[in-house]
A and B are shown apart, each in its own frame.
Chain A
């Protein structure tokens, strides 16, 4: 299939004005080997309440895209808008969940989750009450006074999600949040994210390299090419909602996984060859 850089209009939800618009983003980096284009003319949009997953092989510019949309990276061409407002730097409407473990080790679960409320100047009693709501939402009731070191990796990532949700962002932007977890925990946390999204009607954008995770969670999956990262295909996932991890055993789920793997395989192979050549393994 030929690479495309523009979203197929048929794959957009009709008659809904998008909450997030990513318009023709190009981001390049200066490296000792020359200029490397990480993201190349990527455009897509996300409707309110929609769950979009961006998937691609390692090195396709997924994390660059995450940082651009989150406002942590500047010096790019194109435009990112949230509800019509251009994103210039970190934006209150976008809540970020990072791939790396990002809880504050010196704060309890409650203090971690209450962090954005504390920054916003909310009174202590009120923010503790509010934090408790989000702690319950991610299923960590009873762990309020624990420190991150006393929790498992999956629990810590749930604390990070609760902390981001506490800032009540319009868009939950996640960069491989379960990347460091085992497959079973990943599936179960996927259930938790689905439940939260369903309850809050939360607009979500997930960056991932895991096909199962993308199909389990998303309404649409955007497949990226290997470097430079372009939009290869947008796959609408027409599986019924509400979903749970049980859906992974269905035939339809398997067909979506196979379809996306078909797109990704060529890109992942290209990435692997490039990596081997870079390390001097190719003659």
Chain B
């Protein structure tokens, strides 16, 4: 029992210790002048700015706005991205015709398309959500195809030997077998979506944390800017935690 607790505590302690050490090194480098303190604020200053941005800049509300945009983008990714992935896996002609384009789209800087989305959806949360969705879509589609195509032949044969219909084969075998890979795609998609969401909030000066980062940067409040970036990381952590819980619920064996 004690050994088990030690085993689970050790990685956490190592990770946290490394982070603290890195912060201390950066603090020291800034203090001795190796890093310019007018470009990069000291971690101690960033820590001091947390209370101020929370109280004065309405962080909880902005955090919720960005989290809400990320949530809807992720929902769209799960519904549309996974569905397209399933469709492309099922219809080989479609897959052969489009897979290369989808892969190419994954490396395209879609954030630069924000003026087009502004024209279509206006300066609103919808633009931000759609930009996040488009950025994450290729990863979800490609990983869904990969997961379904990677289903072991013998599991499909087991299903066929029990005379499963095509629908049963999908829901009872293909889908659960592909779930771990689909969730990798969803997490990747979520990362790309969040980057784009905060990026577009920043660019169009609208919404949650991205807009705040823009405001604080323009005021040259660097400690406040970096403190706000920490909250963006927190959004990401919350979504990773939630997707991990959902995956464990769907596939408890993993």
Q: Which A residues contact B (CB, under 8 angstroms)?
A: 70-72, 89-90, 92, 94-96, 98, 100-102, 104-108, 115-116, 119, 147-149, 167
Contact = CB atoms under 8 A, between A and B. Distances in A.
Contacts of B253: 105-108, 147-149
B58 interface: no
B161 interface: yes
A70 B161 contact: yes
**What is the size category of the interface that chain B forms with chain A?**
20 to 34
Interface of B: 152, 154-155, 157-158, 160-164, 168, 172-173, 176-177, 179, 251-254
17 contacts: A70-B161, A72-B160, A90-B163, A95-B161, A96-B158, A98-B154, A98-B158, A102-B155, A102-B157, A104-B177, A106-B176, A106-B177, A106-B179, A108-B253, A119-B162, A119-B172, A167-B162
A72 to B, nearest CB: 6
A90 B163 CA distance: 6
Given A98-B154, A98-B157, A149-B253, A104 B162 contact: no
Nearest to A92: B163
Nearest to B164: A119
Interface of A is mostly: loop
Nearest to B165: A119
Contacts of A94: 161
B168 A119 contact: yes
Given A102-B154, A106-B251, A119-B168, A72 B176 contact: no
A102 B162 contact: no
B173 A104 contact: yes
A107 B176 CA distance: 10
A72 B161 contact: yes
Nearest to B180: A106
Contacts of A149: 253
A95 B160 CA distance: 11
A101 B160 contact: no
A72 B173 contact: no
Contacts of B163: 89-90, 92, 119
A45 B154 CA distance: 26
A94 B163 CA distance: 11
Contacts of A71: 161
Which 9 pairs of residues, A with B, have the shortest CB-CB distance?
A147-B253, A100-B154, A96-B161, A106-B176, A102-B154, A106-B251, A90-B163, A102-B158, A116-B162
B154 A101 contact: yes
B168 A100 contact: no
A203 B155 CA distance: 24
Nearest to A101: B154
Highest count of chain B CB atoms <10 Å: which of A71, A95, A105, A147 = A105
Contacts of A70: 161
Nearest to A148: B253
A95 B161 CA distance: 7
Nearest to A150: B253
Nearest to A96: B161
B179 A96 contact: no
A72 B179 contact: no
A108 B251 CA distance: 11
B152 to A, nearest CB: 7
A107 B253 CA distance: 7
Contacts of B177: 104, 106
Contacts of B152: 100
Given A96-B157, A96-B161, A116-B162, 15 more contacts: A70-B161, A72-B160, A89-B163, A90-B161, A95-B161, A98-B154, A104-B177, A105-B253, A106-B176, A106-B177, A106-B253, A106-B254, A115-B172, A147-B252, A148-B253
Contacts of A92: 163
Nearest to A67: B157
Contacts of A100: 152, 154
From A70, A98, A106, residue with most partner B Cβ within 10 Å: A106
A86 B154 CA distance: 24
A71 B160 CA distance: 9
